[in-house]
Every structure is written in C-alpha cells, then in structure tokens.
Amino acid sequence: MDSPFVRPRSEGRRRWRWRELSFSSQFLGAAAIVLFVAMAVLGSWVTEQIKQSVLKTSGAQGAQFMTGFLEPHVQQLQRGRELSDEVHRTLDALFIGTPVGDSLISIKIWRVDGTVIYSTNKALIGQKFVSSDVTRAASGEVIAEYEDLVSQESAYEQSLGVALIEVYGPLYLRGTDQVLAIGEIYENADALAAELEISRLRTWMVVCITTMLMLAVLYFIVRRGDMTIVAQRSELRQHVLEARQLAHQNEEFRLVAEKARLDASEANEQLLDRIGSDLHDGPIQLLTLLTLKLSNRSIAKQLKVLPEALTPLISSLRTIAGEAITELRNLSAGLSLPEISELTLEQALGSAVSHHVDITGDRVSVVLRDLPDHITEAIKICAYRIIQEGLNNAQKHAKDSEKSVVAFVERGILTIEVRDSGAKSSAPVTDGVGRQKMGLTAMRNRVGALKGTVSVTTDPEQGTVVEAKLPLDPT
C-alpha cells in the first residue's frame, strides 16, 4: 500500500519539467493562465453589463406600457378589492388575439398582498402567491428579469420553452404615490437572446484577440529579457569560475609565500648562529692569542729584558684586547641561539631571561601565565628573540633600572611586554641608523613575518615598554 505522504512520480516529473523550462516559457504559461482567467472574468462582466442595460431599457418600456394600458383599469380598486367583470372583458379584448397582445406572452395584475386579480391565464385569478418581486414592486420599484422563471405562479410561462423578459411595475392611484396594484408582463426575448449571444461572441473574440496580442507582446519582452539573463548568467558563471581559479592560485601563492617566509626566518636564524660561531672560533680566538702574546712574561721571554717604556703601552693593548674579546663574546652569545626546540614556550622565555641575567647581572622580574605547552618553532624562536632584544635594549639605555618581562596568551594572541623603569629613553625616537635602530627594525621584521605587531612606548618618567603581539595561528 502506498503511503499518502509519498509524492506521485508523475507529479515530481511534471514539477521537474516546469523548473527546467526557461523563464520566458514559464512566463508564457503563467501569463496565459492569468490573462485568460482575467479576460474570461472581463468578458462575463461585459456580457452581464449588456444584459443589465437591455433589462433596464425593457423595464422602463414595460413600466410605461403598464402605466398606459393597465393603470387606468385599476383605479376602481380604491373602492374595492376586485376588478369588475367589465374591466376583465375590456382587458381581454385589449390583449387576447390583438396585435398588442401578440407581442406579450402573458399579463397579470396583482393586489399588493400577492393575490392575482387578473391574468390572461384565467386559472391563476384569485390565487395568492408569496412573491418577493411583488413585494418589491409594491414599494414602488420596477423589476426586470431575464430567464429567471422559478416561481410557482410562472409555471405556465416556464412550460413555453422560450426566452422571456419578466417585468413587474407598480400601478398608482392617479395623481398620487399610492400603489393600488402590481402589473406583470412577460415579453418574448428571443431577439434579446440572439442579440446577447452575438454580443457575447463578439466580446469573447475581442477579449481573445486582445489577450493574444498582450500575451505576444509581453512574451517577446520577457523573452528578450530572458535571453539577456541567460547571457549574463553564463558570463557570471565564467567570471565565478575565473574568480575561483584566481582564488585557488592566490591560495597556492600564499602557501608558497608562507613557506618562503618561514624558510627565510629559519635561514636567518641559521645565519645568525653561523656568524656567532664564526666570531667565537675566529676573531675571539685570535684576540685571545693576541692577549697571551702581549703578556709581560711572553714578551720578556722574547726580548730577555722588557723595556720600562713599553710596559704602559703593552698594558693598554691588553686592556683593549680584553674589552674587544668581551664585546665579541657578548655579541656571539646574542647571535647564537641556544637549543630550545625541546623546551616549552614558558621554559624558552625563561631561558632567554636567565641568559640575559647571567651575562649582564641585571635584575629582571618575570610573569608568564596561560602559555601553551605546544607551539610552532618559528613563534618560539621569535618570542625568544623579542625578549633578548628588548632586554639588551633596556640594559644599554637604562642599565640600572628595574626590568620586567610579562608574557601571556589571550584570545589566541601571544603578548610579550619588556619594560624598564629608567629615566632615560631606552629606545630612540629619531630615525638614526645605529645598532639600536637596526635591532628594533629586525624585531619588527621578524614579528611582521609571523603577522604580528610591535610597538615601542617611551616615557621619560615611566621608562620604555616594548610590546609585541603574535597570533598563535599566523595562517
């Protein structure tokens, strides 16, 4: 047994076919239905208006007829309730078998209470019927109806099988508005029926022709618009396809650029590490050897006797060489990155602070909170370098100030703040090209490569704050 909720296959196929039609074809179908229904209503309305106009004219003519031929013979009703036999004979002579009567099918005179007091069909005289038309006519209204013979008193007229116009009209007491009786006549309406049929056919022809012309004009307009829409849709699909291809290419370029950026950052770290190692294995070793050669014992061994005049010079050279060695060792230590790949972010940042304290002896307060255990190597190295450069900058320009490092993660952003309380500016505000400027520039470039930002705020009284923000997911 089929479920009542299962849609018939033929219905689904019809809907599918309808949706597959072009806009112009859908418009043609829908507009044809709407226009034909609208024109059918209009045609029926026009036909009905024609019929009502004819009935209004027939009613007026019938009222004039009854006023001229019937009203003079009902004046005696002001003295009684029945018409005299003489009046009956006069009316029969007037309407039965005469040219006047031949144009009429039937004639009746009613009392206002619904009793027939005269009729060319003698069987109805004296009978009383309930008729709304008689009641309306008794109030002074002229009523004309076409083929509306459904009442009992019109059984004879219904049996004739011809089209009829039925007219009810009030018959007044002469010179007053008092209704003495109601007149009713039935006219042969075959000519009217033929005229209405011709008018109906003509109306429908005009309506159909007008509808077809309107439909054709609208269809061609919509068809043209449909063709434009189809062409534009095809172009739009092509543009969308091209846009998708460009987006795919851009995504590939972005991934390549992202990889190149990370590779460049890694290569830069490798270069810095190599430079630090070269400094340690090259110039530092040579300067250490030079220091040994400049020792008094070594020179005395070579010269047997050290002239007193050379002692201050040799001492000064040893001091300069020692300072150079210290500077180069600090530089080498700053360039070479310690092994932090196995450390968490918190451990790596703590290592950066500890390394700085071991070298400089500065006091640095550290606050690390909400830091993730797992993070990319590039972000870990960048965060280490930020703290390293920030503390080096503070040590150089505000050596005796209190320093602090704060790092936390909020909404996927790693924020690092390196702060000092020195009175002097620990960050240049000019556009100089010294090492300080290069250090901040390198920091900004490194952070920018990971889609982060760096800001430096300097206050003569509050000191300097270096703040860096790094997204944990730079993609």
Worst-scoring range by mean pLDDT, 2-16, 84-98, 374-388?
A: 2-16
Residue 262: its pLDDT value, please?
66
Share of the chain above pLDDT 70, in %: 76
Residue 228 in domain:
no
164-172: strand order across its sheet: 116-119, 104-110, 179-188, 164-172, 143-146
Residue 426: its pLDDT value, please?
45
Residue 384: its pLDDT value, please?
87
**pTM score:** 0.43
Q: What is the CATH number of the domain that holds 39?
A: 3.30.450.20
Residue 3 has pLDDT above 90, yes or no: no
For residue 58, give every residue at least 6 positions away whose Cβ sits within 8 Å of its Cβ, in sequence order, or none. 144, 165, 167, 187, 192
pLDDT tens figures, 103-138: 788 888 999 888 999 988 888 888 888 888 888 888
Residue 80 has pLDDT above 50, yes or no: yes
Worst-scoring range by mean pLDDT, 296-310, 348-362, 387-401?
A: 296-310
Domain boundary among 196, 216, 233: 196
Domain boundary among 196, 222, 244: 196
Residue 201: its pLDDT value, please?
83
Residue 93 has pLDDT above 70, yes or no: yes
Residue 351 in domain:
yes
What mean pLDDT comes out for the span 409-427? 78
Residue 331 in domain:
no
Which of the given ranges, 31-45, 170-184, 313-327, 349-363, has the highest pLDDT on average?
170-184
pLDDT tens figures, 170-179: 999 888 989 9
Residue 154 in domain:
yes
Residue 447 in domain:
yes
CA atoms within 13 A on the CB side of 188: 10
Residue 88 has pLDDT above 70, yes or no: yes
Residue 431 has pLDDT above 50, yes or no: no
Q: Domain range spanning residue 34? A: 20-196
Residue 177 in domain:
yes
Domain boundary among 196, 221, 246: 196
Q: What is the CATH number of the domain that holds 407?
A: 3.30.565.10
Residue 407: its pLDDT value, please?
93
What mean pLDDT comes out for the span 145-160? 72
Q: What is the 3-state secondary structure (H, E, C) of the chain?
A: CCCCCCCCHHHHHHHHHHHHCCHHHHHHHHHHHHHHHHHHHHHHHHHHHHHHHHHHHHHHHHHHHHHHHCHHHHHHHHCCCCCCHHHHHHHHHHHCCCHHHHCEEEEEEECCCCEEEEECCHHHCCCECCCHHHHHHHCCCCEEEECCCCCHHHHHHHCCCCCEEEEEEEEECCCCCCEEEEEEEEEECHHHHHHHHHHHHHHHHHHHHHHHHHHHHHHHHHHHHHHHHHHHHHHHHHHHHHHHHHHHHHHHHHHHHHHHHHHHHHHHHHHHHHHHHHHHHCHHHHHHHHHHHCCHHHHHHHHCCCCCCHHHHHHHHHHHHHHHHHHHHHHHHHHCCCCCCCCCHHHHHHHHHHHHHHHHCCCEEEEEECCCCCCCHHHHHHHHHHHHHHHHHHHHHCCCCCEEEEEEEECCEEEEEEEECCCCCCCCCCCCCCHHHHHHHHHHHHHHHCCCEEEEEEECCCEEEEEEEEECCCC
Residue 294 has pLDDT above 70, yes or no: no
Residue 306 in domain:
no
Residue 182: its pLDDT value, please?
92
Q: Give the count of domains, the chain.
A: 2
Q: In whole angstroms, what is the distance from residue 393 CA to residue 47 CA?
A: 101
Higher-confidence residue of 418 and 437: namely: 418
Residue 289: its pLDDT value, please?
65
Residue 37 has pLDDT above 70, yes or no: yes
Residue 459 in domain:
yes
Worst-scoring range by mean pLDDT, 319-323, 324-328, 330-334, 367-371?
A: 330-334
- The answer to whether 423 touches 439, Cβ cutoff 8 Å, is no
Share of the chain above pLDDT 90, in %: 9
Higher-confidence residue of 298 and 271: namely: 271
Higher-confidence residue of 267 and 29: namely: 29
Residue 86 has pLDDT above 50, yes or no: yes
Residue 15: its pLDDT value, please?
52
pLDDT bracket for residue 2 (50, 70, 90): very low
Which of the given ranges, 164-168, 238-242, 284-288, 441-445, has the highest pLDDT on average?
238-242
